[in-house]
Structure 1
Amino acid sequence: MGTRNAEDRLATGSGTEPAVDITDLYAAHRLQLVRMAVLLVDDFGAAEDVVQDAFAALARRPDAVRDPSKTLAYLRVSVLNTARSALRRRRTARAYAPPDDVAPPGPEDAAVLAEEHREVIVALHTLAPRQREVLVLRYWSNLSEAEIARTLEISTGTVKSTASRALVALEKAMSGTTAGKEER
């Protein structure tokens, strides 16, 4: 038995020993498969990983190849498919552009926002009570029109029309607030 080479043992597969000796197969064909993988993935480290993955897959499923003489062909196909997957992952990674870092809001941003909130609240108090209630429930409490209707004991149609009128009135009040501010 010691004089037979790895390919002879692949082809025969006696009943007492496994049909494929992965260790001998690895020793005999690893370099050839790595060379093939290098041409596919253009990186020696990645090529070694591709070949290692192909042999690991064969070791996990030694019954994947029914005919031992086709084991090398199976490994070549496995290397090819794994190289394709590696190239797809590489292409996806290169295409990914992380979102631009947005600077945290500074003190001036907080001041502007606080002023805008103050102006909205002042304008909100100029609305009729029902209009103010509908807008607060809709936009601050995030209730649906049906939930607002149940809460205020009015129809959903009334909620819709009140919200529409309230937004128009709020916009007018806000433009009056900013116009008065610009005159100063």
Structure 2
Amino acid sequence: MGFGRDAAARAAADDGVSSLYAVHWAPMVRLAWLFVHDDLLAEEIAQEAFVSLHRKWHEVTGASGAAYLRQCVVNGARSALRHHKVEQRYLDSIRPGPRRLAVASAEDEAVAAVASADMFERLQGLPTRQREVLVLRYYLDLSEAQIADALGIAPGSVKAHAHRGLAALRTEMEARP
């Protein structure tokens, strides 16, 4: 008897995740890319989010599936960035001499030109939480409630981080047009 319920639950998870995948795959990859700036890593982060959703399908209701995916992608991107920083520190500690500058790929340069490299640079200078809030708000056009849910913070905190982040960007742009 239990086997039939398990099979039905797996089938429901398969159907639900497949439906969400069709609609949310590209936006989740784009969201991850906005944080990590790496196509393959962004796809991997999005894929892990969908796998996690499938595993937790019985706990996640259909309406909150997209919110769960966003939260997984943001957390996955944070984790990847932390991992990258640790790797960089290690490589810097064992590599003698001046640092080598990374050469951007043609794809990166095309995306940077289209998406305003200057704004990305200025966003990178913001504290992590302010950057996350502004990316979710202005690149994914999420509401304050959706951002709060994705980041696991209060809606009032979303407003405060957005205000501080925009004020910092405004000051930076006035100082360096």
**Does the alignment reach a TM-score above 0.5?**
no
Normalised by the length of structure 1, the TM-score is 0.42
Considering Cα pairs closer than 8 Å and 6+ residues apart, tell me whether 1 or 2 has the greater RCO.
Answer: 2
Q: TM-score, normalised by structure 2?
A: 0.43
> Highest Rg: 1 or 2?
1
